[in-house]
Amino acid sequence: MRWVCCVLLVLLTAGAVVTFDGSRSRADITFASADVFTMDPQRMSYMQDLRVARALFEGLCARDNTLDRATPGVALNWDVSADGKKWTFHLRPEARWTNGDQVTSGDFRSAWRRLLLPDTAADYTELLFSVRGARAFFAWRVEALAQYVAGSIHDDAAAQALWTTTLETFDAMVAIHAPDDQTLVVELENPVPYWLDLCAFPTLAPIHERSLAKWTRINPATGLVQSDAGWTKPGVLVTNGPMKLVEWRYKRGMRLEPNELYVGANPPLAGSVEVVPIEDANTAVLAYESGSIDWISDLTAEFRADLAQASRQWREAHQTEFELRIAAGATVDEALAALPAPDMARGERRDVHVLSAFGTDFWSFNCRPLLSNSQPNPFADARVRRAFAQAVDKRALTSSVTRLNEPVATTLVPVGSIAGYTSPAGLSFDVARARQEMAAAGWIDRNADGIVENSAGVPFPTVDMLYMTGNPRVKNIAIALAAMWRDALGVQCELRAKDGKFAKEDLRRGNFMIARGGWYGDYADPTTFLDLSRTGNGNNDRAFSNARFDELLGEAERELDPTKRMALLTAAERLLVEEEMPILPLCQYVTLYMYDPAAVAGLTRHPRLDQQLSQLRRVRDASVSVLP
Amino acid sequence: MMHMIARRLLQLPLVLLAVVVVTFALVWLIPGNPMQHEGRQPPPEVAQAMNRQYSLDSPVTFLGGYLARVSGVGWVLGWNTAPVDFGPSMRHPDWTVNEIIRAGFPVSATIGLGAIAIALVVGTCAGLVGGLRPGSWWDASTQTVALIGISIPSFVTGSLLIVLFAGKLRIFPIGGWGSPSQAILPMVTLSLPFAAYIARLLRFGLIEQMHTDHLRTARAKGLSRRQAAWRHALKNAFLPVLSFLGPATAAAMTGSFVVEKVFAIPGLGRHFVEGVLGKDITLVMGIVLVYAALLVVFNLLVDVLYVWIDPRIELASAPSR
């Protein structure tokens, strides 16, 4: 017994010594976020990764959330040819990497080459496919790798030779040129109106090739060029943004501090910023209330609707004063901060913010002619899809089910989110029309049993509704949808919840009739949503394919006149949300932030929610007044 | 005794090999591709390239390469820099499994050992109280508390402790990791079921021991009930607790998913469950290997302690002379 205790104590002390690191100073701003996956800019695609990358890296352009457009980043300015295809960027000569090296056009070129290599496994490879020769180069490399694997020689020399050829092919094929250290010339296949927006996207950020080279090797067995884990760690990762990475520990968080070598258009206003991954939604709220974090970047606690309501009521109680301050030129946060402090003891609060996001919550219809079990798919018929879409009372969903009053959506592109784009009307809630569509498709309740049958008397198959577990909101929506369809259309639905990976696999294999979906836009153009329904798109889980739709997108690609281009895109979306209906849009996504505007400043409410961590700061003087 | 220890240690690699093969078969059967995530999908060609890179297109190649790297053969041949290389995490491209285990294991081990220490103290006290006075009011109350301790899941006790001690009273921080004060609540939460189990084991052991002949003799010689229990009964009554402690310590040290999630602690338990859900083959296999090795070592330790406490065991198992 004594010995057991002694052994335990010794081990315990050893463990404690290794793992406790004393009390570290709290960062100026600490916020809870989903766990960061990677700091490799070319590989990232998750919002939380992109958010950190925006502070660590600076692309050719940056995005100004207030002006809602791209502004100079590393590029001081740029010229564009008359046909909109050739862009010449002039880089800031004083731009520096965190190791003191100059940021050159070659750094952009090698980063973009990296993004285009299948070896990198980048989720956003396709962003660069608008560059002349890029798509062809990607295809060439895929083919070259396949031939290498199929060949008989797999040694270092052969792999190196393939790599040398790849570099030469890139130079010859892809229209990205760096005539000198400060000039980058890019030629596009077709004019891309949102090209500057792409240049501000973190995946197109430059990389410091020399520091990465030490972590890169060529696998002789496959010919693939790979970066080993490790090059993105603090002390190794060389960045060029307004902040630098000083600490990153697996699932324990990361810490950013201002980069003193940064010279550019977006100098940091923040002090230190710490990102902590807190997975348990309730723990995050408690951590916020105890003051250990300042901002919850995605409030998912189940009682969030109640918190949001308390915040809304408090604001409504001070509506006149609030509006006065807005009229006087204050931002929403400034106006909120200047109102009398809420009495937390009475349940009043001003720290829950329901923000519209640049994304649409939808459900997908399986458009394949056959289901995965080889049975005919009733949803291959657009009339059935339209019937299901029109039978959904979306307003009831957002007011009674999600209780967050999200803006109801009848289109895929959030209405009003893109300047110059007119959204089609889409289909509204109309049960009578829905029943007509079902009848037109041959589904009528012929024996008055409450279930519709086809002309052969076969009842409508039980609708298989697939969704991912772990999100009570989705589950509640699924239950409500099933009830609406049963009551309005006379069909039986069966809910099937699966874990993320399993659900994804079912989606890929087409093993569903209706499945939960959703999409966030990446750049300010309708194609960021519409591309999803292109034939063969990697994210087209529905396997929707429509020649007319593809043609409209193709025409829009070639159209030089911006107004006509937008009209073509509107026509394409109209086809999607009024006729073909592969996707049933429910509502615009909202993101719930939790922060006290009297304590934290610098967060944007722009629907893109592209937060600039380098601009976050603590409000020192809470009594800021902007009243005239 | 030395013979037994040597034999068990020699068995260790074989046990681990079996564990690797079985775990691999199970993880491989999880549907889906570890390189594929729920978010935006890269072009399909990229997925193919990745499958080739990580040998996901051939289980035999994968397992062969893995065994070479883990066993040290790869190190001898100069394939990898670490003698035991669990490879890169498939879901977290910026981290190797070695890094993840090196960071997560001390955290889970500290909480686990702390929890076992607390459980030992609390469980022994409760077991003594109940075992010495079976049927008394004290016994009934400790047994009720123990039953509750076993029955209430840790996510409930954890959340309650957070709300009470961190939310209302503000004695401890809410969660996270880095300072001793952040370790107390998770240790207590994790210790409760163990403490309850120990209390029940010890109580039954004591009651049984108190009715044995040698105890009756000790009482007849004039020892008080308490003295007799302390000097003669406790040691024997503790044997079942000891055999429970081996696997319990190994299990506690490798982390509890629930406790780590509730308290936002970056420990192995959480990494493991997330690894399974994300089909992170290398991460899951790495953690299972660590767990298996710990289990073997702690069971060995328990057996050694057994022999030391109760010499009859070695006599029984020793080859006949």
Q: Does B30 touch chain A (CB under 8 A)?
A: yes
Q: How confident is the model at residue B218 (pLDDT cuts 50, 70, 90)?
A: confident
User: Nearest 5°: phi and psi at A87?
Assistant: -110, 130
**Cα–Cα dist A240/A261, whole Å:** 8
Q: Residue length, chain A?
A: 628
What CA–CA distances, in Å, run from A535 to A424, A531, A553, B203? 21, 9, 11, 70
Looking at this predicted complex, what is its ipTM?
0.83
Q: Quick check: is A598 in a domain?
A: no
Angle, CA B161 vertex, CA B160 and CA B163 arms, to 5°: 65
- Residue B277: which H helix or E strand, with range? helix B268-277
Nearest chain A Cα distance for residue B183, angstroms: 9
Cα–Cα dist A30/A53, whole Å: 17
Q: Do A338 and A410 belong together in one domain?
A: no
**What is the model's pTM?**
0.88
- Residue A10 backbone dihedrals phi, psi, to 5 degrees: -60, -45
Chain B residue with the nearest C-alpha to that of A231: B94
B99, B103, B110 ranked by CB distance to A16: nearest? B110
Select the residue of B36, B116, B166 nearest A290 (Cβ to Cβ).
B166
Q: What is the pLDDT of residues A344-392, one digit of tens each?
A: 888 899 999 999 999 999 999 999 999 999 999 999 999 999 999 999 9
Please check whether residue A469 touches B, CB under 8 A: no
Any domain includes A621: no
- Say whether B170 and A228 touch across the interface (CB within 8 A): no
Question: Which candidate, B3, B24, B169, places its Cα nearest to that of B86?
Answer: B24
Interface test with A, best of B28, B46, B161 (most A CBs within 10 A): B46
B109: nearest CB among A15, A219, A287: A15
Rounded to whole angstroms, how far apart are CA atoms B189 and B195? 10
A42 within domain boundaries: no
User: Does B64 contact chain A (CB < 8 Å)?
Assistant: no
Does the CB of A233 have a partner CB in chain B at under 8 Å?
A: yes
Residues A213 and A72 in one domain: yes
B255-290 residue pLDDT tens: 788 899 888 888 999 899 889 888 899 999 999 999
Task: Tell me which of A610 and B319 has the higher pLDDT.
Answer: A610
Residues from chain A that touch B48, judged by Cβ atoms under 8 A, are 118, 142
Q: Which of these three, A290, A316, A351, is where a domain ends? A: A351
Alpha-carbon span A157 to A151, nearest angstrom = 14
Same domain, A71 and A109: yes
How would residue B134 be classed by pLDDT, with cut points 50, 70 and 90?
Answer: confident
In-domain check, residue A329: yes
Is A222 part of the contact surface with chain B (CB cutoff 8 Å)? yes
Tell me whether B177 touches chain A (CB under 8 Å).
Answer: yes
- Interface check B181 vs A, CB under 8 A: no
The alpha carbon of residue A13 is apart from the nearest alpha carbon of chain B, in Å, by 8
Q: Among A331, A351, A371, where does a domain finish?
A: A351
pLDDT of residue B247: 86
Query: Could you tell me the CATH number of the domain that includes residue A444?
Result: 3.10.105.10
- The string of pLDDT tens digits covering residues B61-97 is 899 989 998 888 888 887 777 888 998 898 888 999 9
**A426 and A330, same structural domain?**
no
Residue among A52, A57, A19 at smallest CA distance from A35: A52
Integer Cα distance of A333 and A350 in angstroms: 10
pLDDT value of position B9: 86
The C-alpha angle with vertex A144 and arms to A143 and A148, in degrees rounded to 5, equals 115
Is A254 contained in some domain?
Answer: no
Q: Same domain, yes or no, for A326 and A391? A: no
Instruction: Write out the residue range of the structural domain in which residue A417 sits.
Output: 356-590
Mean pLDDT of chain B, nearest integer: 86
What is the per-residue pLDDT across A528-543, written as a single tens digit (0 to 9) for each? Answer: 999 999 998 888 999 9
User: What's the confidence (pLDDT) of residue B309?
Assistant: 76
- B46 to chain A, any CB pair closer than 8 A? The answer is yes
Burial of A569: CB neighbours in 10 Å, binned 0-12, 13-18, 19+: buried
Verify whether the Cβ–Cβ distance B277 to A500 is below 8 Å: yes
The whole-number pLDDT of residue A573 equals: 97
DSSP string, A415-443: TT-STT-PPP------HHHHHHHHHHTT-
How open is the CA angle A301-A302-A306, to the nearest 5 degrees?
95
Whether chain A has a CB inside 8 Å of the CB on B264: the answer is yes
Query: Residue B107: its chain A contacts at CB < 8 A?
Result: 19
Of A138, A222, A289, the CB nearest to B52: A222
Answer yes or no: do A81 and A130 share one domain.
Answer: yes
Q: Are residue A521 and residue A581 in the same domain, yes or no?
A: yes
- Are both A474 and A391 inside the same structural domain? yes
pLDDT the model gives residue B174 = 82
- Work out the burial of residue A558: count CB atoms within 10 Å of its CB; fewer than 13 is exposed, 13-18 middle, 19 or more buried: exposed
Assigned domain for A78 exists: yes
β A514-516/A216-218 pair status: unpaired
| Residue for token pair 């946060």 | A333
**Phi/psi at A626 (5° precision):** -120, 15
Q: How many CB atoms lie within 10 A of CB A350?
A: 23
Domain identity same for A383 and A511: yes
- Is residue A318 located within the same domain as residue A401? no
Show the tokens assigned to A258: 């201002």
* B113 close to A (CB below 8 A): yes
Q: In angstroms, rounded to a whole number, what is the distance separating the alpha carbons of residues A59 and A271?
A: 22
Residue B211 is predicted with a pLDDT of: 86
Rg over CA atoms, chain A: 27
Minimal CA separation from A541 to chain B, in Å = 10
The closest alpha carbon to A381, from A582, A542, A535, belongs to: A582
Asked if A19 lies within 8 A of B107 by C-beta distance, the reply is yes
A145 at B interface, C-beta within 8 A: yes
Q: Indicate left, alpha or beta for A490 from its phi (over 0: left) and psi (-120 to 50: alpha).
A: left
A466 lies in some domain: yes
Can you tell me the distance from the alpha carbon of A482 to that of A136, in angstroms, rounded to the nearest whole number? Answer: 45
Give the CA dihedral A414, A417, A420, A423, nearest 10 degrees.
20
pLDDT value at position B51? 84
Q: Are A275 and A31 in contact (CB under 8 A)?
A: yes
Same domain, A491 and A507: yes
Our CA-based measurement puts residue A20 at a distance from the nearest CA of chain B, in whole angstroms, of 5
pLDDT (average), residues B31-51: 78
Q: Which of B103, B116, B278 sits opposite A501 (nearest CB)?
A: B278
Beta partners for A364?
A: A515, A583
A50 in a domain, yes or no?
Answer: no
**Residue B41, pLDDT score:** 76
* CB-based contact B167 A282, cutoff 8 Å: no
Is residue B130 a contact partner of residue B143, using CB atoms and an 8 Å limit? yes
CA B288 to chain centre: 11
The CATH number of residue A102's host domain is 3.90.76.10
Q: Are A121 and A228 in contact (CB under 8 A)?
A: no
pLDDT at A625: 42
Tell me the sheet residues that pair with A464.
A494
**CB contact, 8 Å: B77 with chain A?**
no
How many domains is chain A partitioned into structurally?
3
A466: which 2 tokens? 């697939």
Instruction: Give me the residues of chain A with pLDDT under 50, please.
Output: 622-628
Q: What is the pLDDT of residue A1?
A: 60
Same domain, A344 and A486: no
The answer to whether residue B68 neighbours chain A at the CB level (below 8 Å) is no
The domains of chain B, with CATH numbers, are 107-278 (1.10.3720.10)
* CB proximity B217 to A under 8 Å: no
Query: Which residues lie closer than 8 Å to A7 by C-beta, 6 or more apart?
Result: B301
**For position B223, what pLDDT does the model report?**
87
Q: How many residues does chain B have?
A: 321
Among A594, A597, A600, A596, which Cα is nearest to A617's? A600
